[in-house]
Amino acid sequence: MAESAHSPTFVTRASIFERLKSADRADRELAWVDFRGRYAPVIAGFARKLGATRQDIDDIIQDVLLGFFGVSGGFQYSPDQGRFRGFLKVCTIRAALRRAGKNLRFQGVPLEHVSPEDLAIDHVWQDVWEQELVTQALLAVRAEAAGSMPFRAFEQYVLLDRPAEVVAAELKTTVNSVHQAKTRVTRQLREALQRLRELDDSF
């Protein structure tokens, strides 16, 4: 499956930092939309794992994004200085502590007593990051194949966990075609996910 050059899934990576500093206001605004769309779900998912409330999560997202907005003009992404995901993790933890520190726990320990470099907390962050990559990969596949019979069959059979026989009857196809659709779209999903992982390798 060929990725679309205009798919937000494949443009919200290292290049976004240059767009955030663009002299063109419209381009900067679009870059911020992309930036928020890419990273707000990760921030929210991680904060939720720490026990933040919905209101706290909204505030944490706002704090992290506004904080980055304040430094974005002079921000220079350099893989040699560590991955951006690590920087974002630390920003999220700090924002969570400011907003709801006394109420947050990690494995029963007050968050303020947990190091951002703790392997256990890093594992949770990486899990949330990976889950968002899966979501983005699915969005990319859906954008390319939405409306096609294979994707509709995959969506009903795999994502909605409906019986293959029922899906086949509704789509007026065969059970074998439903299974083939699962195999085909699963392969596309894995390819999209692999591309995203490669884009994130030094990020």
Would you state the pLDDT for residue 4? 43
Question: Dihedral of the CA atoms 7, 12, 14, 16 (nearest 10)?
Answer: 110
Q: How far apart are CA 160 and CA 67, in angstroms?
A: 39
Which residues, 6 or more positions from 154, have their beta carbon under 8 angstroms from its beta carbon?
181, 182, 184, 185, 186
Would you state the pLDDT for residue 2? 41
Would you state the pLDDT for residue 105? 87
Would you state the pLDDT for residue 52? 92
Distance between start and end Cα atoms, the chain: 24
Can you list the residues of the chain whose pLDDT is less than 70? 1-14, 17, 21, 70-82, 200-203
Q: How far apart are CA 199 and CA 136, in angstroms?
A: 13
Q: How far apart are CA 92 and CA 85, in angstroms?
A: 10
- Per-domain residue ranges of the chain: 8-200
Give the model confidence (pLDDT) of 168-184 as tens digits.
999 999 999 999 999 99
